[in-house]
Structure 1
């Protein structure tokens, strides 16, 4: 009879621990996926920004040494991702391919200019930064004009800010929900042991002595749940990298390491705080209130 009851209690305890670990792992997994979404949203935004081209058109009397010096200085500039010299002949050939006919034969001359096409690093693709860069380049005597798509840059910058704001809002909501779910699971687990807590208190055990085993147990469960969430997250990363290699999900190892560490630490901290406040609540209850 006693052995049967002990087995029942053991199964009940294991079931309680399993539900806590499962809830923690699933919630942390969703938070990790959200973190990956944040990373790839930024990468996608940076990708579009770095497709913006700043064209520096050169005067016909510009010397080759001046052109070479300008290109070298642009390549070494902190805002430059890539700088390519395009001669007027190459530009004419490209334009003819785009329109499907040789416009030089029709005009009788080539109206295009030699130019340097500059692709900027993403952090410099803002209306203010590009305007400043264009002003500096236009001040050079052998530069005819600096051209770029101002409306597109303004629209892109505005949309990136809007998307980033809403992603932060969603992250905050999900984190709040994660705390609530994990806290509820741990409170339910401790609720089933409220009589044990009160019995220990009645025989003279201090609050810290009663709290510590619960905190340590649930912190270990939080660690286990976090590890399980990271395994699931690693599996998702591997699947996405195999099927969508162009996303380069595994390239940013520093961010991924920070994300994995953040998920693990978050699981431990939430488990610790939830256990502390849940046990404190039952420690402060009167005996009669334990039945409600």
Structure 2
């Protein structure tokens, strides 16, 4: 009768597919939620950039006076700068009349015999200056400037945006906490179950005089590899999902922030490696401290 050869169990080896699948799935869900947060932040930035302050000028100002005001406003810290350029726009009273005529559908200057509108500057606010109290201070400062007639902004919109952002941040914070706890438990339990089959091998290595560091080494290296690989696979899946969204959803590319995505992908790889290492270390230490009777 032929002998059945049993496959030798290597120190640190355990089921590859199930552990990698669980780590990858956990990190993919975490990354998916991270994507939602990034998209929400990008969308919030776009909404905040639409919070504008309009500065109406006195009538009869010369071109030099208007240019001087433009230079002064452009240097203000609360005026949004993008790529080194102040988001400040001058609207002449003629342009304003033309826009108004297009919206109303009738040229009001024909029967008024005059253009009652004023030249104005419109600028977007830096995010750090978008509280209601700070905008009021900015409006007071601008009103006191020579050549400025009136300053207007949408106070109700600012207040509504700030209140809603606080509520959304609290909800997202709660979800992040719950998700992280779930992911940690899932990865920890998966690795603990995988190492359960290695408990007697760990005991055997102890009996022949192997040090704890020597026993831990193969497990920790494999855990690091599985965790990092799971993060890379999850990042690849998320990247493909983003590319698919760009092709299928119009305007989705406006929410595409490559810098934040790369940070998210790097965080997933590090998170996978760290959680896998930590769970493996806890499990191996547990079996190193157990007696033979407890192993059974």
Q: TM-score, structure 1 length as denominator?
A: 0.88
Cα contact 2:61–2:147 (8 A) shared by 1:
yes
Structure 2-normalised TM-score?
0.87
Aligned residue number for residue 232 of structure 1: 237
What is the distance in 2 between the residues matched to 1:3 and 1:229? Answer: 40
Q: Which residue among 72, 91, 94 is the counterpart of 1:89? A: 94
Moved more, 242-251 or 98-107: 242-251
Q: Cα distance, 1:142 vs. partner?
A: 1.2
CA distance in 2, matches of 1:61, 1:207: 86
Superposed, 1:1-292 pairs within 5 Å as: 3=4, 5-6=6-7, 16-81=15-80, 82-244=87-249, 246-248=251-253, 252-291=257-296
Change (3 A) 1:232 1:272: same
The Cα shift of 1:265 comes to 0.8
Residues 113-169 of structure 1: CA distance to partner in whole angstroms, max 9, x if unpaired?
221122224443322332232222111121110000111101111212221232222
| Distance (whole Å) between structure 1 residues aligned to residue 27 and residue 111 of structure 2 | 66
Report if aligned partners of 1:127, 1:154 keep a CA contact under 8 Å in 2.
yes
Worse overlay, 22-31 or 113-122: 113-122
Distance 1:262 1:39 in 2: 13
Q: Higher RCO, 1 or 2 (CA under 8 Å, sep at least 6)?
A: 2
Indicate the SS of the match to 1:205.
Answer: coil
Unpaired segments ≥5 residues, structure 1: none
* CA displacement 1:233-267 (0-9 Å, x = unmatched): 22122222333463437964332222121111111
Q: Deviation digits for residues 51-73 of structure 1, max 9, x if unmatched? A: 12211011113232111111233
Output the CA distance in 2 between the equivalents of 1:214 and 1:55: 63
What CA deviation, in whole Å up to 9, does each residue of 1:69-108 have, x standing for no partner? 1123333434334222222232222223223333344545
Structure that is richer in helix per residue: 1
Seen in structure 2, the aligned counterparts of structure 1 residues 3 and 238 have a Cα distance that, compared at 3 Å, is farther
Deviates more, 1:156-165 or 1:99-108: 99-108
Structure 1 residue matching 2:223: 3-state secondary structure: helix
The answer to whether the Cα contact below 8 Å between 1:91 and 1:112 also exists between their aligned partners in 2 is yes
